[in-house]
Amino acid sequence: MSQVLLAPSLLSADWAQLADAVAIAEEGADWIHLDVMDGQFVPNLTFGPVIARAVRKLTRLPIDAHLMIHDPLAFVPAFREAGVDRMTVHVEARGVCGPGWAAPIRSHGEGGAAGDGGPAPTEAHAIDLDRLRRTLAAVRKSGAGVGLALRPDTMLSEVEAVLGEVDLVLPMSVYPGFSGQEFRPEALLQIRYAAAWRERNQPRYLIQADGGVAADTIAAIAAAGAEVFVSGHGVYRQPDPRAALQDLRRRAEAARRTP
Ligand code: DX5
Ligand code: ZN
């Protein structure tokens, strides 16, 4: 697979100029990434279907919703109705993996809760695979593309059983909740793992990178095997966001061509 898909994250945009931010994406990107947060799964609160619908009116680009919420099942129909094309759920969300997930939810970043790098891996993870499958099936049934996201402390090997059922895999490179955090290089291992697993088993998912994706990190991420690149600060907090998008694409394409 040699494609490069850019998905700028509106979280870093100037929301007073939403139409401009969307126009920038229309000119130089492939998808629009919407970060949906419930203040529970992550210590930050953003928006719901009403805003997704407003973005839908502004663009024909596919809308890629990253659901950082505990109960995605409750909102899948509303997001779909609002015109969202893809929904990515977190395996660690209570409504997705069941109550067995014991790791504390923490995040750090601009204005965020204090943290020393994320959850301590003290408790065993227990994923309710049936429940996870039901969530993925509900997204599929809605007509949206199905994505599965993992926090940096969740290993892809834990969800191998469902990798054949998704269109997109997102091993996060920051703890979700805030834009502007530093890229965690251990995500490269997970991206390589996702690429190798795909090579061996031939499922059809795309590999997405999200968190600290910018001019200085995108080449390594692309070389590891990702093809969908979410970027917030790397686009909207740059002096010229249009030029930043072009630069990101050039760097990613060059890195993917290099064997
Ligand atoms: C973080 C979000 C990201 C965020 C990326 O929880 O999922 O999509 O907006 O922002 P940057 O690229 O600035 O890390
Ligand atoms: Zn995101």
pLDDT at 99: 72
Q: What is the DSSP letter of 41?
A: S
pLDDT at 124: 53
Q: Name every residue whose Cβ is closer than 8 Å to that of residue 140 and which is 6 or more positions away in sequence.
A: 146, 165
Residue 173 or residue 3, greater confidence? 173
- Determine the Cα–Cα distance for residues 218 and 231; give it in Å rounded to an integer: 10
How large is the angle between the packed helices 241-257 and 18-28, nearest 10 degrees? 30
Ligand 1 center to residue 6 CA distance, Å?
13
pLDDT at 257: 82
**44 neighbors 177 (Cβ within 8 angstroms):** yes
201 class by beta-carbon count within 10 Å (0-12 exposed, 13-18 middle, 19+ buried): exposed
**Ligand 1, atom nearest to 214 Cα:** 12
Look up residue 206 and give its two tokens. Answer: 């795309």
**70 neighbors 101 (Cβ within 8 angstroms):** no
Given a cut of 70, is residue 198 above it in pLDDT? yes
**Ligand 1, atom nearest to 213 Cα:** 12
Collapsing DSSP states into helix, strand and coil, what is residue 46? coil
Ligand 1 center to residue 183 CA distance, Å?
10
Mean pLDDT (whole number) for 195-206: 96
pLDDT-derived band at 100, boundaries 50, 70, 90 = low
Picking from 231, 238, 251, 243, the residue whose alpha carbon sits closest to that of residue 28 is 243
The string of pLDDT tens digits covering residues 152-181 is 999 999 899 999 999 999 999 999 999 999
- Determine the Cα–Cα distance for residues 213 and 222; give it in Å rounded to an integer: 10
**Ligand 1, atom nearest to 107 Cα:** 6
Q: Catalogue the E-assigned strands of 119-194.
A: 145-150, 168-171
- Best of 68, 108, 230, 231 for a ligand 1 pocket test (most atoms within 8 Å of beta carbon): 230
Total residue count of the chain as it appears in this document: 259
Ligand 1 center to residue 172 CA distance, Å?
9
The residues lining ligand 1, judged by C-beta closer than 6 Å to any ligand atom, are: 9, 11-12, 33, 35, 66, 174, 176-181, 210-213, 230-234
- 30, 35, 64, 247: the active-site residue: 35
35 is catalytic: yes
Nearest ligand to residue 44 Cα: 1
The string of pLDDT tens digits covering residues 104-149 is 444 444 333 334 444 444 445 678 889 999 999 999 999 999 999 9
Angle, alpha carbons 8-191-77 (nearest 5°): 55
The string of pLDDT tens digits covering residues 6-61 is 999 999 999 999 999 999 999 999 999 999 999 999 999 999 999 999 999 999 99
pLDDT at 110: 36
